[in-house]
Amino acid sequence: MESYFHWFDLLGIAVFAISGTLAAWRNQMDGFGVIVLASVTAIGGGTLRDLILNAPVIWINNNSYFYAIFIAAIGTILLVRNRLTIPHNTLQFFDALGLAFFVIMGTQKALDYGTSTMVAILLGTMSGVCGGMIRDVLCREVPMVFRGELYAVTCIFGGVVYTGLLALGVSQLPAMLAGMVALLLLRLAAIKWQLTIPVFSKHHNELNEP
């Protein structure tokens, strides 16, 4: 089972690195900017989760995570460098795929460290969203998680599906896959049909603004 965890982790790292690389490409960053954005997107959330759990940070003693980042970033650059535009939803698709891997893996790691189910789901959500938040802030954009479209809600939903199946006695790997698929499908549905939660809007009279 540990080998499954490791490969899921590497897949999540690679997918989020692709997401960061596409964001850097869209913002016309140089090569250094590409690597920085790919790296913080890929490992930012997991690093924060591990620090909170007082666990060894995932990449400190394992170079394979950086190999996955570099391979994903370079491969993405080679694929898109001859294209004049990047399809509008490409970044969102890879971000959603990264969420599916990272949220479930983060939830399981928190459970392994003895947290309650609710805390595990919250830490899994943090694993998924924080790297993307750092990416968007560095790109001077409002993070996706704050834009109204279902984002963090999909992470919580995936975590609930996963932990719920575990509570029902479903074995770990099928429960993981079900949680990932549930999260991914809900996130893709939110992108396609612009499913949102209510957001605050300005009322100029109340704020005494012109």
Stated length of the chain: 210
Give CA–CA dist 11/9, Å, rounded: 5
Taking alpha carbons only, the member of 17, 9, 13, 193 closest to residue 89 is 193
Supply the pLDDT for residue 199: 64
Average pLDDT, the chain: 89
The 10s digit of each residue's pLDDT in 51-75 is: 999 999 989 989 999 999 999 999 9
Give CA–CA dist 110/91, Å, rounded: 28
Is the entire prediction scored with pTM above 0.75? Answer: yes
Supply the pLDDT for residue 208: 52
* 8 Å CB contact between 64 and 71: no
* Number of C-beta neighbours around residue 204 at 10 A: 8
For 90, 99, 141, 157, the CA distances from 179, given in Å and listed in that order, are 22, 11, 29, 8
Supply the pLDDT for residue 87: 72
pLDDT tens digits in sequence order for the chain, 210 residues long: 667 778 888 989 999 999 999 999 989 999 999 999 999 999 999 999 999 999 999 899 899 999 999 999 999 998 888 775 667 678 889 889 999 999 999 999 999 999 999 999 999 999 999 999 999 999 999 888 887 679 999 999 999 999 999 999 999 999 999 999 999 999 999 988 988 877 666 554 554 555
Supply the pLDDT for residue 4: 75
In angstroms and rounded to an integer, the radius of gyration of the C-alpha atoms of the chain is 18
**Which residues, other chains included, contact 198 with Cβ-Cβ below 8 Å and sequence gap of 6+?**
148
